């Protein structure tokens, strides 16, 4: 059940796209690229599995996978929302970056819904469809990361190094994705 989350899949089409982008941009990808790529593989695979389980109606497996994604993707989501996306605003503009945040919100809603779901509880067809749609939106979001690699390459090396340090620090803290949302909601009050 969701066993492969911790392994990157070099055969995945998203990965091939990443490698092509990296290849045209930088013969020796930086530590930031490697870490970013690795995180995206974990998140992409986890979301793909959640969508598959939801399609097949295996809610117990979807819930277990959601819990794992919650733990494993928290640092990556925090890195993007707190450091990378604010940097992207000056390169991509507000509209694109606002959309990226919104898509994270849709992904988070799936993780939260799965966490709240009591084991063995029934799920209405409408709820299952909504969760599947949100998971698919977040999957597409992750698949777009090839474009972000190109944008990341336009940042000065010193800025890339600083971003990498933030990512490493967040990986050490290893927050849950759902904890980030609680913090954000608390901040607004
Ligand atoms: Fe993202």
List, for residues 9-59, the tens digit of each pLDDT value. 444 444 444 444 443 344 345 889 899 989 999 999 999 999 999 999 999
Quote the pLDDT of residue 127. 93
Residue 123 and residue 55 in contact, taking contact as beta carbons nearer than 8 Å: no
Going from the Cα of 59 to the center of ligand 1, the distance in angstroms, rounded, reads: 25
Beta strand residue intervals within the chain, DSSP E: none
Residue 93, judged by CB atoms within 10 A of its CB (0-12, 13-18, 19+), counts as exposed
Going from the Cα of 122 to the center of ligand 1, the distance in angstroms, rounded, reads: 31
Going from the Cα of 179 to the center of ligand 1, the distance in angstroms, rounded, reads: 16
Residue 141 and residue 100 in contact, taking contact as beta carbons nearer than 8 Å: yes
Quote the pLDDT of residue 139. 94
Tokens representing 148 are 């972000």
> C-alpha dihedral over 104, 131, 145, 178, to 10 degrees?
40
pLDDT band at 183 (very low <50, low <70, confident <90, very high): low
Tokens representing 93 are 């503009």
Cα(67)–Cα(176) distance, integer angstroms: 9
The radius of gyration computed from the CA coordinates of the chain, to the nearest angstrom, equals 17
Among left, alpha and beta (phi > 0; psi -120 to 50; other), residue 123 is beta
Residues at Cβ < 5 Å from ligand 1 ion = 80
Going from the Cα of 104 to the center of ligand 1, the distance in angstroms, rounded, reads: 6
Residue 78 and residue 179 in contact, taking contact as beta carbons nearer than 8 Å: no
Going from the Cα of 77 to the center of ligand 1, the distance in angstroms, rounded, reads: 6
Give 44's contacts (C-beta < 8 A, 6+ positions apart).
Answer: 12, 14, 139, 142, 143
Quote the pLDDT of residue 30. 80
Residue 41 and residue 12 in contact, taking contact as beta carbons nearer than 8 Å: yes
Quote the pLDDT of residue 181. 67
pLDDT tens string 73-118: 999 999 999 999 999 999 999 999 999 999 999 999 999 999 999 8
Going from the Cα of 76 to the center of ligand 1, the distance in angstroms, rounded, reads: 8
Cα(86)–Cα(100) distance, integer angstroms: 11
DSSP secondary structure code for residue 123 in this structure? -
């Amino acid at each position: 059940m969701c066993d492969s989350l911790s392994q990157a899949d070099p055969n995945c089409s998203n990965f091939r796209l990443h490698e092509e982008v990296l290849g045209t941009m930088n013969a020796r990808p930086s530590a930031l690229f490697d870490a970013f790529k690795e995180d995206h593989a974990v998140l992409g695979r986890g979301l793909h599995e959640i969508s598959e389980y939801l399609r097949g109606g295996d809610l117990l497996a979807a819930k277990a996978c959601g819990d794992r994604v919650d733990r494993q993707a928290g640092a990556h989501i925090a890195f993007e929302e707190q450091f990378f996306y604010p940097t992207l605003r000056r390169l991509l503009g507000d509209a694109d970056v606002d959309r990226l945040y919104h898509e994270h919100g849709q992904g988070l809603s799936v993780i939260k819904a799965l966490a709240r779901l009591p084991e063995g509880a029934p799920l209405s067809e409408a709820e299952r469809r909504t969760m599947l749609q949100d998971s698919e939106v977040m999957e597409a979001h992750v698949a777009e990361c090839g474009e972000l690699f190109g944008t990341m390459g336009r940042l000065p090396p010193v800025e890339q190094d600083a971003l990498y340090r933030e990512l490493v620090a967040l990986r050490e803290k290893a927050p849950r994705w759902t904890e980030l949302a609680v913090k954000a909601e608390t901040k607004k009050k």
